[in-house]
Structure 1
Amino acid sequence: MNKQVQVEDLGLKDFKETWDYQEQLFKAILETKIKNRRESAGLETDNHFLFVEHPHVYTLGKSGDLSNLLLDENQLREKGATFYKINRGGDITYHGPGQIVGYPILDLDNFFTDIHKYLRFLEEMIILTLKEYGISSERSPGETGVWLDVGTPFARKICAMGVRASRWVTMHGFALNVNADLGYFDNIIPCGIRGKAVTSLNVELGVERVDEAEVKSKLLKHFRVLFEAEMV
């Protein structure tokens, strides 16, 4: 089992270009697995962890409801945003500057074959990272992602998640609001959940800007421990 995970920070990159790159890495792992099964090749499969920041974009998961996007094409253009219907789970979400997006593209055969556990570990990585900033966060029953003040009228989401998996290979991932422009969330019903607010780390800390490089470093630290991985 290969527990090495290749980390790559793509910087600010178009959503569709990044999606295509994810698909390329995802398919290469699948092809290796198929070859191993057919030919008993015994080849190691790669694991990747991509960090990226997207220009303003709304994405709708395969089971999502288009009515949760509250803008038409002209309004999207006015906002400088794009829209894609994509092949992850979950409903609609927003990505934009000031948000740390992480795409782990892993062969879970190298770690554990349990998608539920995989999602919980990603959530735990976020929860432990926020704890380092003095922020208490948690899971909300039946709602994937990471939340603050669950069970109160002030419940708000700080990290959205949506993944795809095939033959235990994952893609897509999480979006953590760090210095995000929360106004863009007003144009959707986030994750299809009405009446729940969203927040960002800088808002919770009452500061203008949080060091995103520092947050990424903390995320990788907790990922490495949880997955017993070697980050390269």
Structure 2
Amino acid sequence: MNSTESVQFFAKQTATFEDGFAHARKSGNYHLLSLNARQVFLNRLMQALITWRMRENPHALIEEVVDRGLESLNALCELKPEANVANAFPVEKLRMVAFLIDREVKTKEEWQSIESPDRNLDYLLGMILTGHPLSSLNDAINVDLGKLFATNRSVLAAKSYQLYLDILSGGEVKEDVSGLVDEADDLYRQRAGDAFYTNGYEVEGGGLDNGLIVDYRLGAVLKYLNYSGSSAHAWRW
């Protein structure tokens, strides 16, 4: 499939999961609701990331991703208010893409309790992008980076997060980060053959999806720094 056909494919996938979401919400099935909510979010996000990689303006699609994601969060909280919705929905990813269009997703403190180190790092990265000093989060960041570096399968992910932070650190002191951005571009390309990413969500750019989409985390970091270089992952809208 070419890029246009891929957008159409993920649009059809979205419609299928929207039907599942509506059914689960009507029947009060929290597990089914969470499954379909995640897939609606991820398939909508894929459409935006493919459009971005085509260098077409994905702003309206990202707005739809965020609005629909917030609707899903509200539905999950209404159905099971005592649950930690972060276990059912990738809140940290929603916060990250919301930053791209200058939106902020408010989260409850208990939603911060996520066992996965990469998801925790996404949460911490989102905190930096919304104004928390990087230095105040170093201890928490180092704990989760250590967990990723400790396992061979997740070393590329650890290197990627470390590089996002290095770019942010360099940008804060007005250093030229173009060399680091080139390194991040290279690390992203390595995801095509990396097990951590090929076995993850399609929005992470593993396997055949690598050349189809962009690294939205890197895009958010570069937006934060008002980066104007030529990286395919830079946010230009």
State TM-score, norm by structure 1.
0.32
State TM-score, norm by structure 2.
0.32
Name the structure where helix makes up a greater proportion of residues. 2
Name the structure where strand makes up a greater proportion of residues. 1
- Of structures 1 and 2, the one with the larger relative CO (CA 8 A, separation 6+) is 1
